[in-house]
Amino acid sequence: MQAQCLSITDSRALYNHFVPVPLNLQFFGKLLPPASVATSSLLVPSCKSRFGILYKQKKNDTLLHQVAASAVPPPASSTNDVYGEGKEFDPRRLWRRFWKVAAPYWWSEDRGQARLQLAAVFVLTLGTTGISVGFNFLGRDFYNALANKDADQFTKQLLYYLFSFAGGIPVFVLRDYARETLSLRWRSWMTSYYMERYLKNRTFYKIQSQSIIDNPDQRINDDLSSFTGTALSFSLTLFNATVDLISFSNILYGIYPPLFVVLLVYSIGGTAISVFLGKGLVSLNFMQEKKEADFRYGLVRVRENAESIAFYGGEENELQLLLQRFNSAFENLTKLLISSRNLDFFTSGYRYLIQILPAAVVAPMYFSGKIEFGVINQSVSAFNHILGDFSLIVYQFQAISAFSAVIDRLGEFENILDNESNYASGTSEEISLVYSCTDDSPSLEANGTVSKDKPQNLLVIENLTLQTPTSRAILIRDLSVQVNCREHLLVTGPSGSGKTSLLRALAGLWNTGKGKIQFHVDDPKGLQSSSESSKFTRDVFFLPQRPYMNLGTLRQQLLYPSWAGNAFPISDDTKSPVVLPFLVRKSDTSDASRKPKLPTTDELIKVLEDVRLGYILSRVDGLDSAREWSSVLSLGEQQRLAFARLLLSKPKLVLLDESTSALDEANEAHMYELIRAAGITYISIGHRRTLFNHHHICLHISTVDPNTTQPNWRIDPINQDTLLKFSKQ
């Protein structure tokens, strides 16, 4: 869509400024309708580029891949009814949304550069309008010389024309270059701005797990790109049209005032009819964006889960799903094509009539000898300019409707990012998650010294009742438990009882319910100074059920997530001429002294050997080779790699969600031995009996019984008796 909309100004420029020659061809009996030269590219129907989007998106594959890799569940589709169908062309709502999306950049830290570049683009645009007015007069003299058979004058005018082309073309090219550069800069800033908020406060997780909007990846990637390109393009088109209108109105009015009146009536009528005919295009474009993104997401999912699908032999199923998604896009596109066709019937007629209308009005003056032949050309050219300006809506209705869909999608996204907290919880009562200093630990003596007898608290859970976020089903009732340093806790219970959900609450991902969770960490100060998104202190580490391998080298896997900033260079090209400041993440200098030292290569190799993964190094050409790690490594290897990350991060407390489920018993015992030796306290979730060997206490959660208000958990110490009992079972 971006290409489509950018072509509007490009072709307008050519049409407005260099078109006098084809315009006059008609007067010499040529068949080519001049306006079609301009308008065929001027009015590239939005639907024509629809399938092209798939191609464009292919180019963005890498980014998509990254986005999709982090978004595991299927795309949300709950927004269809709310946002999609029935969306009408409402200029006031669109304008509000447009302003909300567009404004922040022009008041951002980059506003100086942005405004300067915008001013340059406008000055160059003014220059191009000036040049086109010059061409209008040149055209008049050129055709007068031709009509008068004045060879000398004709040669002179021809030379003027050639010199003017040589001087004028660079201004047009530079204007376009400046506009594109500014558009790219704006897009880069907005991409960084949106991504920052998307990844802040775990908004990405809430959007995905609660199906708040569809395809956020597409909105960040494609919609932002279209938005910035088209917004600039439209603003310039409007500006150009205004200046054009002022410049050419004088000329036209000077030639024959009634021609001006004809023009006004024609353009106002045309605008009203095209708005009426094209009003359904906005919602169709909106849905098209969504349906294509759904289809693309389906393709990415097949790639991401290639092995599982191949094992299941699920190709037929996937094919059906993909065809169904494509068909949905196809059906919508068919409706879009029909609407566009109906609009095209009108706009084509509207455009063709222009060719004869001005000539028909001024021809009597020419026949009576009041004006010269060149003036007819001049009036046709001026008429076309002004009509083009007055007919922006007619000419660009399809582009405007596609742009409106982009504004709507981004406006929606913007609202969600802005009001993210509204989605966190619907009630005032929620679980309180507190990180406090170790010194506040209730295990300390009144005089402030750590008691030798009393163990140091790491985690205290008080009266926690946990509910699922949307349906509010109770999973755990009134849980109170505390975990002391080096007292390892095992959480067991039947599948679906809420073990992982307890971890979600501990991590702050879920806060529906009531009660208090308090972590005692060494550095709550550091925690307060760091951003919300890194609410985990370095002292607490979570290993999720599904090992996550990021896209990158083996080194980057190991350094994830504690040293992510050091692991990812901002540019592929070390000699890159421009690095935009807002694309570089500033490291939190207030935190610098507290940050752990970046592990050396030797330390990374050692930790790999510790988790018995040393052999991978020779297989993949060292630490800096990049692979699709989630496919290259077995599940057990990925779990051991996760333990390597953990050992490098050295937290005080780790929460392990079935993190050794894919390991054999010997490797499982080895992993637990490693973290115990590193002084890390752990809370594990698991079903395996062997896990009892590595823990001191067991929290057993049973499936909640809706008929009772009794707690659905119990705590048992793990001792020789317990182990014996389990070994006999």
Ligand X SMILES: Nc1ncnc2c1ncn2[C@@H]1O[C@H](COP(=O)(O)OP(=O)(O)OP(=O)(O)O)[C@@H](O)[C@H]1O
Q: Are strands 540-543 and 513-521 parallel, antiparallel or unpaired?
A: unpaired
Residue 75 beta carbon to ligand X: minimum distance, rounded to whole angstroms: 15
Piece of 310-318, 468-476, 602-610, 634-642 that binds ligand X (CB under 6 A): 468-476
Q: Which one, 209 or 722, has the nearer CB to ligand X? A: 209
Which 624-683 positions form the footprint of ligand X (CB under 6 A)? none
Which 383-402 positions form the footprint of ligand X (CB under 6 A)? none
Q: What are the phi and psi torsion angles at 628 (to 5°)?
A: -85, 85
Q: Which one, 308 or 589, has the nearer CB to ligand X? A: 308
Residue 518 beta carbon to ligand X: minimum distance, rounded to whole angstroms: 21
Length of the chain counted residue by residue: 729
Q: Which one, 545 or 587, has the nearer CB to ligand X? A: 545
Residue 132 beta carbon to ligand X: minimum distance, rounded to whole angstroms: 59
Give the one residue of 201, 233, 497, 557 binding ligand X; rule: CB under 6 A: 497
Q: Which one, 124 or 505, has the nearer CB to ligand X? A: 505
Q: Are strands 513-521 and 432-437 parallel, antiparallel or unpaired?
A: parallel
| Cα 423 from Cα 601, distance rounded (Å) | 43
Piece of 154-162, 200-208, 426-434, 489-497 that binds ligand X (CB under 6 A): 489-497
| Cα 225 from Cα 712, distance rounded (Å) | 51
Q: Which amino acid is at 726?
A: F
| Cα 398 from Cα 393, distance rounded (Å) | 9
Residue 550 beta carbon to ligand X: minimum distance, rounded to whole angstroms: 23
What is residue 444's DSSP assignment? Answer: B
Which 63-82 positions form the footprint of ligand X (CB under 6 A)? none
Q: Which one, 376 or 474, has the nearer CB to ligand X? A: 474
* Alpha carbon of residue 227 to chain centroid: 12
Binding mask 592-621 for ligand X (x = CB under 6 A): ------------------------------
Residue 492 beta carbon to ligand X: minimum distance, rounded to whole angstroms: 9
Q: Which one, 145 or 506, has the nearer CB to ligand X? A: 506
| Cα 499 from Cα 240, distance rounded (Å) | 63
Give the one residue of 469, 513, 547, 599 binding ligand X; rule: CB under 6 A: 469
Q: Which residues contact 44 (CB under 8 A, 6 or more apart)?
A: 4, 7, 8, 399
| Sole residue written with tokens 């010269």 | 372
| Cα 56 from Cα 4, distance rounded (Å) | 12
Q: What angle do CA 446, 447, 451 make, to 5 degrees?
A: 75
Q: Which one, 287 or 461, has the nearer CB to ligand X? A: 461
Please give the C-alpha separations between residue 132 and each of 128, 194, 388, 552, 705, in angstroms, as whole numbers: 6, 40, 14, 52, 80
| Cα 371 from Cα 252, distance rounded (Å) | 13
475 is a site residue for ligand X (CB under 6 A) = yes
- Bridge partners for 490 per DSSP: 684, 698
Identify the burial level of 476 via C-beta atoms within 10 angstroms of its C-beta, where 0-12 means exposed, 13-18 middle and 19 or more buried.
buried
User: DSSP states of 588-649 as a string?
Assistant: -GGGGGGSPPPPPHHHHHHHHHHTT-THHHHHTTSTT-EE-HHHHS-HHHHHHHHHHHHHHH
Piece of 146-154, 288-296, 470-478, 480-488 that binds ligand X (CB under 6 A): 470-478
Residue 491 beta carbon to ligand X: minimum distance, rounded to whole angstroms: 9
Residue 689 beta carbon to ligand X: minimum distance, rounded to whole angstroms: 15
Residue 494 beta carbon to ligand X: minimum distance, rounded to whole angstroms: 7
Piece of 374-382, 443-451, 496-504, 619-627 that binds ligand X (CB under 6 A): 496-504
Q: Which one, 308 or 471, has the nearer CB to ligand X? A: 471
* Alpha carbon of residue 624 to chain centroid: 29
Of 352, 374, 95, 395, nearest in space to 241 by CA: 395
Which 191-220 positions form the footprint of ligand X (CB under 6 A)? 209
Q: Which one, 65 or 688, has the nearer CB to ligand X? A: 688
Q: Is 16 helix (H, G, I), strand (E, B) or coil?
A: helix
Q: Which one, 607 or 701, has the nearer CB to ligand X? A: 701
Residue 427 beta carbon to ligand X: minimum distance, rounded to whole angstroms: 16
495 is a site residue for ligand X (CB under 6 A) = yes
Piece of 89-97, 156-164, 270-278, 495-503 that binds ligand X (CB under 6 A): 495-503
Of 330, 288, 380, 370, nearest in space to 22 by CA: 380
| Cα 588 from Cα 581, distance rounded (Å) | 15
Piece of 25-33, 131-139, 337-345, 464-472 that binds ligand X (CB under 6 A): 464-472
Compute how many other C-beta atoms are within 10 angstroms of the C-beta atom of residue 126. Answer: 15
If binding means CB under 6 A, how many residues of this protein chain bind ligand X?
14
Piece of 101-109, 462-470, 550-558, 672-680 that binds ligand X (CB under 6 A): 462-470
Q: Is the dihedral of CA 487, 492, 497, 499 positive or negative?
A: positive
Give the one residue of 11, 221, 501, 512 binding ligand X; rule: CB under 6 A: 501
Give the one residue of 254, 269, 349, 496 binding ligand X; rule: CB under 6 A: 496
Residue 504 beta carbon to ligand X: minimum distance, rounded to whole angstroms: 7
Q: Which one, 472 or 525, has the nearer CB to ligand X? A: 472
Piece of 9-17, 380-388, 494-502, 689-697 that binds ligand X (CB under 6 A): 494-502
Residue 71 beta carbon to ligand X: minimum distance, rounded to whole angstroms: 14
| Cα 71 from Cα 54, distance rounded (Å) | 20
Q: Could you list the residues that contact ligand X (CB under 6 A)?
A: 209, 468-471, 475, 493, 495-501
